Amino acid sequence: MVSADSCDGGDFLVRRNDVTLAKASLPKLMNVLIVEDEGVDARRITAVLRIVLGRDVTLRLAPSLDRAIDEILQSLPDAVLLDDYLKPNDSALQTIPLVRRAGYHGPIIVVSGEVDRPRRIELRKAGAADIIHKDDVDSVNLSEALIRAYAPRGH
């Protein structure tokens, strides 16, 4: 058996391989809404989603809650990636219920720059399917978040 030593990147490669196998259980995601008010973060999330989901997926960007609601009303996405804090002072704790009231009932993955255990619990109670730290947005972590978001509850 090959050792996955962290100093040589082996652990990352093992996780990447596991994620590649687990992604087969995901439904075909063709329409994803990214709600992010910071351009750099939005471009990074978009680039990583292209790696994870491929070029055929439609990625829509909403830089504000109002724009996100409009996008949802126009066409329901398969998944929503939601910035935890939108300018001027919207928090995912307030925005998740508004996204639900707009008719979206699929998974919401919150992307946060300030995530700790208590915040994760709050966000899950508010309806987030998963939470990922902005610094951790890469193809493996985002894939794992999608897999967890679509996993049957209780597993």
Domain residue ranges in the chain: 29-150
At position 149, the amino acid (one-letter code) is A
CATH number of this structure's domain 29-150: 3.40.50.2300
Distance CA 147, CA 145 (A): 5
Question: Digits of tens for pLDDT over the chain (155 positions)?
Answer: 444 455 566 676 666 656 665 556 667 889 999 999 999 999 999 999 999 999 999 999 999 999 999 999 999 999 999 999 998 888 999 999 999 999 999 999 999 998 899 999 999 999 999 999 999 999 889 999 999 998 876 54
Helix residue spans in the chain (DSSP H):
10-22, 39-53, 65-74, 92-101, 117-126, 139-150
Of 8, 68, 15, which is closest to residue 37 (Cα–Cα)?
68
Say what the pTM is: 0.84
